Amino acid sequence: MPATEVQATTRPRSHSRKATLKTVLRYAFLTLGAFIVLFPVYMAVVNSLLEPSQIAHQPPPFFPTNPQWHTYPDAWKGGSLGIYLRNSAIQTAIIVAGQLVTSILAAYAFAFLDFPFKRAIFFAFLMTLMIPFEVTVATNLTTVTSLGWFNTFPGLTVPFLATGFGVFLLRQAFLQIPRDLKEAAQLDGYGHMRFLWSVAIPLARPAIAALGVFSFLGAWNQYLWPLLVTGNNNAVRTVQIGLKQLLNTQLDQINVSLAGTIIAIAPLVLLLIVFQKQLVRSLTAGAVK
Amino acid sequence: MAKVLFEGVSKRFGDVAAVDQLDLEIADGELLVLLGPSGCGKTTALRMVAGLEEVSDGSLSIGDDVVNDVDPKDRDVAMVFQSYALYPHMTVARNIEFPLRQQRMDAAERTAKVAEAAGTLGLGELLDRKPGQLSGGQRQRVALARAIVRDPKVFLMDEPLSNLDAKLRVQTRADIVSLQRRLGTTTIYVTHDQVEAMTMGHRIAVMQGGKLQQVAPPEELYERPANTFVAAFLGSPGMNLLEAERVGDKLITPAGEINVPEHLSAVLDGPVTLGIRPEGLHLSTSGLAGTILLVEMLGAETQVHCSLEGGATVVVRQGHDAQRPTLGDPVVVGVDAAALHAFGPDGTRVAGT
């Protein structure tokens, strides 16, 4: 009997001490991780503001004593970043919109409709996730070129308008919606499209937002495909290719190239800040439910 | 408002008949309770009326129209789900309004109807809340409001009280009954809870294994069960069943003899299953011999479970002032022979009793 009493009084205290230690360790680990991830970004910002002569200095300065703000307008003008950013924005908007629309519709069909070979077709969708993009590049390029889409926005975007990942992600989200809701709406006269619009999409919003962000990141950061299907006249060339060009033409001015890089990642950082809450919620939504 | 008519309606899932040849008429304005243990087919029957399950066989009518192939939305029925099926992202007002938004109705009329339905169920203060901010009872009332707002021909309720706590269930039970009597809308109410069934239904349809066992008003169901299933299912605890054989003017059971009562003397012959409610038994000095198995004190009454000689178990209901017996003691159970029911070898009530 005394033994259990001792346990009862000491356990909470030692438990809480252990918990504190755990928290401290966890934060230390996260801080270290954040430092490792952010340090190169910080150095890019610092280097973009240094004079070219300072960059080669060892050890490199960790703070720009004489910030060269002109590198940003230089990169913007010299690298035609305005046009490239516009092109990237158009390309990304088309891909994100296309992926959301096709994924929502396909996922709804897999979640709520019954049709022949449903499982087989779904597995076919899943299988596309396992084929690396590089495998399909050559055939896609042939197809797109033969359609006369070289150096056009359709050529840049159409191969990415559907995604097995998006279908899978949203199907899981739709399956979380109780069947009763579908049946209640059905009795109240709601067809598939109206139910999708007024119930399924609002309830799956965290997953849809997550898919939107993923597909934005993927589209914005594309390199190989835009390099292959865009020509030299800048009509549809995206910012990632533009950066490479900037680097090639400004070999002696690393700071300008870095300024261009910072400009190119700015939209992503903005997106992350704006959608931070939604993103976290979407990643934890399943766990809390 | 309309009657609902099942004529030989069956629902098969593969080889299993969830509902088997159901014939049932629900009168205009009636509250009919479909009662039975889980898996008895009551919910399937209800879902067929809603149009959420297709009818495999037979004919199902609402009003004068056969609706076998009519879309759920065109049947003009409203359903209250066990889970309430409220839309979590919409306010109470939007939830109630949801069925109306599908109809061509101007916004002012919609708002007025929502206010009326919400007023009827005392939800006026909660219109701007989301379902997540409501208690179970409030959600239940929102589900009811959503059903009545459309003024449908038929209400379908699928165990709407089973997620409420016991006290709230009693209150809501009474509320639903008074609402139904006031609106006079034909209602089919599915439950496995016999207290709900007995207190709410104009008539009760007892189902088991996909088959209809008996349809009758509550009193008749209790007093004249059509077969041993209904007898044992209704009442808490259900009717005691005893195997016996009539020899002369005696009913012989392994635990002892009972005199054949007057109301049974003309119809009984040979082997019979006797039924007797716990209130028809008492602890006595003459009757059936056994031992005390369990004594359950429930406040106003005490239920004494006795194991009779020959293996049968019966429950005896005692008033709270009776002497409480001791576990394991030998006992003699007296039978009020006038309260005996008799069932034939196939389990159906002996004709003429």
ipTM of the complex: 0.84
Last residue of a domain, one of B211, B232, B253: B232
Q: What is the CATH number of the domain that holds B188?
A: 3.40.50.300
- B45 with B191, same domain? yes
Structure tokens at B240: 């005691």
What is the structure's pLDDT at A14?
Answer: 61
Looking at per-residue pLDDT, the higher value among A286 and B96 belongs to B96
Name the packing angle between helices A254-288 and A71-78 (round to 10°).
90
Last residue of a domain, one of B175, B199, B232: B232
- B205 with B248, same domain? no
**Phi-psi group of B229: left, alpha or beta (phi > 0 → left; psi -120 to 50 → alpha; rest → beta):** alpha
- B269 with B220, same domain? no
Q: Cα distance from B142 to chain A (closest Cα, Å)?
A: 13
What is the structure's pLDDT at A220?
Answer: 93
- B210 with B291, same domain? no
Domain count, chain B: 2
Residues 6+ apart with CB under 8 A from A219: A91, A92, A95, A96, A160
Strands of the B211-216 sheet, one edge to the other: B77-80, B154-158, B186-191, B31-35, B203-208, B211-216
For A199, the closest chain B residue by CA position comes to B87
- B105 with B33, same domain? yes
In a domain, B352, yes or no: no
Q: How confident is the model at residue A277 (pLDDT cuts 50, 70, 90)?
A: confident
In a domain, B97, yes or no: yes
Expressed in percent and rounded to 5, the helix, strand and coil fractions of chain A are 80, 0, 20
Mutate to test the interface with A, among B43, B46, B52, B140 (most CBs of A within 10 A): B52
- B59 with B159, same domain? yes
Q: Which pTM was predicted?
A: 0.81
Instruction: Determine phi and psi for B32, rounding to 5 degrees.
Output: -105, 130
Contact B86, B131 (CB under 8 A): yes
Contact B128, B92 (CB under 8 A): yes
- B198 with B263, same domain? no
Q: How confident is the model at residue A284 (pLDDT cuts 50, 70, 90)?
A: low
In a domain, B83, yes or no: yes
Q: Cα distance from A188 to chain B (closest Cα, Å)?
A: 5
Share of chain B above pLDDT 70, in %: 99
Last residue of a domain, one of B210, B232, B254: B232
Q: How confident is the model at residue A3 (pLDDT cuts 50, 70, 90)?
A: very low
- B210 with B102, same domain? yes
For B79, the closest chain A residue by CA position comes to A184
Structure tokens at B345: 């070898």
Tens-place pLDDT, residues B281-292: 999 888 899 999
In a domain, B348, yes or no: no
pLDDT exceeds cutoff 60 at A5: no
Best CA proximity match to A145, nearest among A133, A161, A156: A156
Which whole-number Å values give the CA distances from B196 to B9, B31, B35, B168, B172, in the listed order? 25, 12, 9, 13, 10
- B84 with B226, same domain? yes
Structural domain harbouring B108: 4-232
Is A203 within 8 Å of chain B by CB? yes
Burial group, residue B289, by CB count within 10 angstroms (0-12, 13-18, 19+): middle
In a domain, B19, yes or no: yes
Q: Which of A183, A184, A202 lies closest to B89 in CB terms?
A: A202
- The terminus-to-terminus CA distance of chain B in angstroms comes to 37
In a domain, B216, yes or no: yes
What is the structure's pLDDT at A79?
Answer: 82
In a domain, B162, yes or no: yes
Q: What is the CATH number of the domain that holds B319?
A: 2.40.50.140
Structure tokens at B89: 């992202």
The answer to whether A180 contacts B73, with C-beta atoms less than 8 Å apart, is no
Tens-place pLDDT, residues A51-88: 877 877 778 788 888 888 988 998 898 888 899 999 99
- B186 with B251, same domain? no
Between strands B31-35 and B186-191, the pairing is parallel
Between strands B341-343 and B240-247, the pairing is unpaired
Tens-place pLDDT, residues A201-228: 999 988 898 899 889 999 999 999 999 9
Q: Which of residues 165-184 of A touch B (CB under 8 A)?
A: 178, 180-181, 183-184
What is the structure's pLDDT at A50?
Answer: 87
Q: Which helix (H) or strand (E) holds B216?
A: strand B211-216
Instruction: Name the interface residues of B facing A (CB cutoff 8 Å).
Output: 50-52, 72-73, 75, 77-79, 81-83, 85, 87-89, 98-99, 102-103, 150
For A185, the closest chain B residue by CA position comes to B99
What is the structure's pLDDT at A289?
Answer: 33
In a domain, B349, yes or no: no
What is the structure's pLDDT at A2?
Answer: 44
Mutate to test the interface with B, among A179, A183, A188, A196 (most CBs of B within 10 A): A188
Q: Which of B81, B88, B102 lies closest to A203 in CB terms?
A: B88
- B149 with B288, same domain? no
Q: Cα distance from B311 to chain A (closest Cα, Å)?
A: 46
Provide the 3-class DSSP secondary structure of residue A36.
Answer: helix
The separation between CA A114 and the C-alpha centre of its own chain, rounded to angstroms, equals: 32
Q: How confident is the model at residue A285 (pLDDT cuts 50, 70, 90)?
A: low
- What is the dihedral sign for C-alpha A103, A104, A108, A111? positive
Contact B53, B11 (CB under 8 A): yes
- B42 with B184, same domain? yes
What is the structure's pLDDT at B320?
Answer: 78
DSSP class of residue B348 equals B
The separation between CA B233 and the C-alpha centre of its own chain, rounded to angstroms, equals: 10
Residues 6+ apart with CB under 8 A from A198: A185, A190, B98
- Positions of chain B with pLDDT lower than 50, given as ranges: none
pLDDT exceeds cutoff 70 at A13: no
